[in-house]
């Protein structure tokens, strides 16, 4: 029986209790033709080096937890085929996030930005009392459906050049999510979100590099959401000179 082909997986390792700076470690392992990048990491963890730390859960490109940098590009490792790469594959943690250990990054800072954009339908219960059942047409759903597909994998933050230079930038995923609710006809919180969007680190910090849209594994197009939010905020700001706030 022919021997299985092998690949060398080069993994960035970092243990904050021991290491001052990250280092790399190479593992040459047998691989299967249908493996994803995550399968190689799981093989290393299970069969070669149990000290390796990486994050994953569903293996179905739904949970968003297995985002990593593969050969310099942010990828969802459960979705990315190992066969797309040569005999040497370099895997590192996502850029622009503090590293907890090896390939695991800290997401706490993002969660603060996530909550700041109020990712829920504002005043839904209050409106229902007055307006009754809220009907939404297919066309109204399509206004925001694309932006609701985000799985919070953080690939867009890793790719974004603004995030790397401006830590206070809300970032692609958070803005796209806030915009999703602004576009929802059931929501009454657009004025609050637009105030947040116009703050320092809001939508106008985006330089439109479009890197976030390029790496998004779910086709959310956060860059498009940000540009729409910019236009909406200019219109909303201009209306403030004509129509008093709250009217």
**Residue 217 placed within a domain:** yes
30 and 147 housed in the same domain: no
Residues in CB range of 97: below 8 A, 6 or more apart:
105, 106, 107, 109, 110, 154, 157, 158
Where residue 144 sits, what CATH number does that domain have? 1.10.1060.10
**Residue 1 placed within a domain:** no
Q: Which of 72, 105, 138 delimits the end of a domain? A: 105
151 and 191 housed in the same domain: yes
175 and 232 housed in the same domain: yes
pLDDT digits (tens, 9 = 90+) for 3-15: 889 999 999 999 9
Range of the domain at 37: 6-105
Is residue 119 over pLDDT 80?
A: yes
pLDDT digits (tens, 9 = 90+) for 132-179: 777 889 999 999 999 999 999 999 999 999 999 998 999 999 999 999
Higher-pLDDT residue of 1 and 36 is 36
**Residue 202 placed within a domain:** yes
Q: Which of 105, 125, 145 delimits the end of a domain? A: 105
165 and 82 housed in the same domain: no
| Mean pLDDT, rounded, for 68-89 | 98
* Predicted pLDDT at 179: 97
Q: Tell me how far apart the alpha carbons of residues 200 and 122 are, in angstroms, rounded to a whole number.
A: 23
Q: Tell me how far apart the alpha carbons of residues 34 and 206 are, in angstroms, rounded to a whole number.
A: 38
88 and 14 housed in the same domain: yes
141 and 225 housed in the same domain: yes
Where residue 45 sits, what CATH number does that domain have? 3.10.20.30
45 and 99 housed in the same domain: yes
The DSSP H or E segment spanning 8 is strand 6-13
Q: How many domains, in total, are found in the chain?
A: 2
Q: Which of 42, 77, 105 delimits the end of a domain? A: 105
């Amino acid at each position: 029986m022919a021997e299985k082909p092998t690949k060398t997986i080069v993994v960035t390792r970092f243990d904050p209790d021991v290491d001052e700076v990250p280092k790399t470690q190479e593992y040459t392992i047998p691989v299967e033709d249908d493996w994803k990048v995550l399968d190689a990491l799981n093989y290393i963890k299970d069969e070669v080096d149990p000290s390796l730390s990486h994050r994953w859960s569903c293996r179905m490109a739904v949970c968003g937890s297995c985002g990593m940098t593969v050969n310099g590009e942010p990828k969802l490792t459960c979705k990315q085929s190992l066969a797309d790469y040569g005999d040497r594959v370099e895997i590192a943690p996502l850029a622009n996030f503090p590293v907890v250990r090896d390939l695991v990054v800290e997401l706490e800072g993002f969660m603060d930005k996530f909550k700041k954009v109020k990712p829920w339908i504002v005043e839904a219960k209050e409106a229902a009392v007055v307006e009754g059942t809220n009907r939404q047409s297919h066309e109204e759903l399509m206004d925001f459906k694309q932006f609701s597909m985000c799985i919070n994998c953080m690939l867009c933050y890793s790719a974004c050049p603004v995030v790397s230079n401006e830590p206070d930038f809300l970032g692609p995923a958070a803005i796209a999510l806030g915009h999703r609710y602004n576009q929802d006809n059931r929501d009454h919180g657009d004025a609050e979100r637009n105030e947040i969007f116009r703050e320092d680190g809001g939508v106008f910090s985006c330089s439109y590099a479009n890197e976030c849209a390029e790496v998004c594994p779910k086709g959310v197009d956060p860059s498009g959401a940000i540009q729409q939010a910019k236009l909406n905020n200019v219109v909303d700001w201009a209306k403030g000179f004509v129509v008093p706030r709250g009217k």
